[in-house]
Amino acid sequence: MAPQLAITLVFFYWPAGQALYQSMLRQDPFGLRTKFVWFANFRKVLADPAYLNSIKVTVVFSLATAIVAMGVALLLAVMAEKAVRGKGLYRTLLIWPYAVAPAIAGMLWLFLFNPSIGSLAYLLRSLGIAWDPLLNGTHAMILLVSAAAWKQISYNFLFFVAGLQAVPKTLIEAAAMDGAGETKRFWTIVFPLLAPTTFFLLVVNTVYALFDTFGIVHAVTGGGPGKTTETLVYKVYNDGFVNLILGDSAAQSVILMAIVIALTAIQFRYVERKVHYG
Amino acid sequence: MIGQSPLRTFIAHAVLILGILIVAFPIYYTFVASTHTLQTILRPPLPLLPGGQLWNNYSEALFGGIGRIGGVSVGQLLLNTTVMALGVAVGKIFISILSAYAIVFFRFPLRMTFFWLIFITLMLPVEVRILPTYKVMVDLGMIDTYAGLIIPLIASATATLLFRQFFMTIPGELVEAARVDGAGPWRFFFDILLPLSRTNIAALFVILFIYGWTQYLWPLLVTNSNDMNTIVIALRKMVSFADADTEWHLVMVTAMLAIVPPILVVVLMQRWFVRGLVESEK
């Protein structure tokens, strides 16, 4: 008990407290004087167009990543349930991107789509698409989302498979006897029963897209071109460690913490509900 | 089970194989790239089949090549990454099994307060509090040390929660029987609790090992000297130079080296891994 408490206190509460304190300070450009300014940093950050832009970027990025990753994973999981033979083999072959570091996933995709040496970029260009993720913000975003979603597919796949196995076979058979076709069975029985899994994965994927993808952003685009792919976490890093605007960075940290706590709270309410349904 | 037409089964297999191709392609292509000469890589499109440079590239990379472009020998990189991954996995399991033990089986004042103190950290990842945590590390002089790499990542509650849930399923009769037979708290912990939680420990180990191996932001901040880089960071540094001069064939070998160990862990320990993942998050 004591060791964890000590580590938690030193490396969690102390920094968190400092973040709160720092977020209300403002330093002069030379770091000589520090002034306590209450919530001015928050006001400044929230009014900053660059910050609002990065919120927008983050929302687009997280939603796109979650939807793509979950959609593909659900499709594959449903198919894996159907393909009785070779299920184990398929699973083995599908889970290993989980072990690839997000940053490396980003670099692999960058290698494939790098405008000068990427083979797939070459393919796209020969199809007549002016592909350039280094200059075109939309292309950069597509590249990021692909890499992030690719990495997350295996995780979602495992959960969907577990969720699908929990759907009672008797229900499906009853529906089949009543004459419901396969598509109809899926949408009216399987999909609603999967809702808890889906919801859980939605939260996890959002958290993943918010935080774990820093590596992808940093390795692939560095927030550019312009600021088109600067996510919130990347901005905290950039303002704090590159631009050294400590107060702003700390204020952003605090905002992020609030977001995470909100997401956690949502998830726990859901967990509780699931317990009641048993 | 409802019968299904052969056509649908065929479609299912086709979709799965397509999915596997998409999932596997980037890694396969990296492997392919790591077996070609630099000239071939620089002139897209790259052939789809491995080239003949496997031996040359890997020996060049392993014996000096990576050291030349990355500034550190590949052995040092792998060592750093392994130490970090193992440290995070072992350290986190160690502290969380202890605190879960304390929370579940002992009654002491402020027990629930401590529990909530730990519990709140559950979902706040290190990314959220980078700057202040970094400052704490500087104050404690832990920059460029293994301790600095590992310890802040241990401060999180997921594993504690998992162990707590598991311990609560242990029947009270077992605890009492042990007490009647004269087993003290430590004996109970080592002879009963640890053997019972073996599978949980194995599952957590896999997950945490992967977690430690794939860390990016934290090692990036805490390590200044090249000697302390993890392989992921070193790889990123290699790529970030102007792409005309990048020795892509060596970079690709490094990428393979960074990818393969965690994949091996996942695939070989698949059973534990899947169980641990699906259960720990519930």
Q: Rounded to 5 degrees, what angle do the CA atoms B56, B58, B59 make?
A: 65
Q: Which of the pair, B53 or B231, is modelled with greater confidence? A: B231
Per-domain boundaries in chain B: 71-280
- Residue B179, token pair as written in the block: 């007490």
Most B CBs within 10 Å: which of A111, A120, A155, A220, as the mutation test of the B interface?
A111
Cβ–Cβ < 8 Å for B170, B196 = yes
Give me the pLDDT at residue A16, please.
64
pTM of the model: 0.78
B99 and A4 in contact by Cβ < 8 A?
yes
Domain that holds residue A105: 2-277
Long-range contacts of A20-24, Cβ-Cβ distance < 8 Å, separation of 24 or more: A20/A250, A20/A254, A22/A246, A22/A247, A22/A250, A22/B131, A22/B132, A23/A247, A23/A250, A23/A251, A23/A253, A23/A254, A24/A247
B235 and A103 in contact by Cβ < 8 A?
yes
What is the third-level CATH fold of B71-280?
MetI-like fold (1.10.3720)
- Nearest residue of B to residue A185 by CA position? B2
Rounded-to-integer distance, Cα B278 and Cα B13, Å? 24
Distance from the B131 Cα atom to the nearest Cα atom in chain A, whole angstroms: 7
pLDDT tens digits, A46-91:
667 777 777 888 888 888 888 888 888 888 888 877 766 777 777 7
- Residue B33, token pair as written in the block: 């790239």
- Residue B238, token pair as written in the block: 């290699």
B132 Cβ neighbours under 8 A, 6+ residues apart? A14, A15, A16, A17, A18, A19, A22, A250, A253
Q: What is the CATH number of the domain that holds A39?
A: 1.10.3720.10
Collect all residues of chain A within an 8 Å Cβ-Cβ radius of residue B95: 3-4, 7
Distance from the B142 Cα atom to the nearest Cα atom in chain A, whole angstroms: 12
Produce one character per residue of A194-205: b if its CB has 16 or more CB atoms within 10 Å, e if not. Answer: bebbbebbbbbb
- Residue A267, token pair as written in the block: 């998830």
In this prediction, residues B96-116 reach a mean pLDDT of 75
pLDDT tens digits, A119-174:
777 777 777 666 666 667 777 788 888 888 888 888 888 888 888 877 787 887 88
**Biggest CA-to-CA distance, chain A:** 79
pLDDT tens digits, A23-51:
555 555 555 555 555 656 666 666 677 77
A108 and B220 in contact by Cβ < 8 A?
no
In this prediction, residues B264-278 reach a mean pLDDT of 75
| Cα–Cα distance list, A98 to A102, A158, A159, B231, B240 (Å) | 9, 10, 13, 17, 24
A253 and B131 in contact by Cβ < 8 A?
yes
In the block, which residue shows the tokens 């069975």? A185
Q: State the ipTM, two decimals.
A: 0.73
Number of domains forming the structure of chain A: 1
pLDDT tens digits, B17-64:
888 887 777 888 778 777 777 767 666 666 667 666 667 777 776 666
B34 touches chain A (CB under 8 A): no
What φ, ψ does residue A28 adopt, rounded to 5°? Answer: -75, 165
Pick from A83, A241, A249: which is nearest to B221 by CB?
A241
